[in-house]
Amino acid sequence: MWETEVTPPAATPEIMQDHIPPPMRIRPLKADDGPALERLARACDPEDLRLRFFQAIGEGHRSLLAQLTRLDPGRDLAFIAFAPGDDTPLGVVRLHGDTAGAEAEFAILVRSDAHSHGIGHALMALIVDSARTRGLAAIHGQILPENARMLSLARDLGFALASTPEGVVQARLALGAGQSE
């Protein structure tokens, strides 16, 4: 199974501090990671959960995170990040592929006390690279317009952003050569 240790590079003027992740271990999400995802949800502020799920998530609904471990290996891909010695995840990122295998929707959640440390950037960069490796033409996701951190991250990674009639922002990143955004 693929795992990687992420150690931050030495800070230089060319690297923005918020893109330097702390030391962490990132590995594929496993079917038995449901309890870890529930710990992640408990470590998140209610507002962060609302921004991720587009609705308030109470204690009774947090078990839905465990359902996110059910991946179709042909269409889905997810990674989970941990700090050394901490069993509560720093974050999780997931791709859910369409039935044609051409595009996938992304979703990400970073623990509230771990924001602005480069964890989201590292996880999204990994999922973008993984999508490219799989040969996907594009990845996309929906972001609430008040989720300034996620909108900034999407812009930093080159996603095209467009408001929708439903009141959300559609983020789309073309991956293939010659693909239009």
Place of tokens 């999922």: 127
Sign of CA dihedral 93, 99, 102, 105: negative
Give 100 or 133, the one with higher predicted confidence.
133
Find, among 149, 141, 137, the residue nearest to 181 by Cα. Answer: 137
Please state, rounded to an integer, the average pLDDT across all residues of the chain.
78
As assigned by CATH, the class of the 21-136 domain is alpha beta
Q: Using CA atoms, how far apart are residues 61 and 90, in angstroms rounded to an integer? A: 20
At 12, the pLDDT band (50, 70, 90 cuts) reads very low
Mean pLDDT throughout 145-174? 92
Listed in sequence order, the residues at least 6 apart from 161 whose beta carbon sits closer than 8 Å to its beta carbon are 143, 151, 154, 155, 169, 170, 171
pTM over 0.85: no
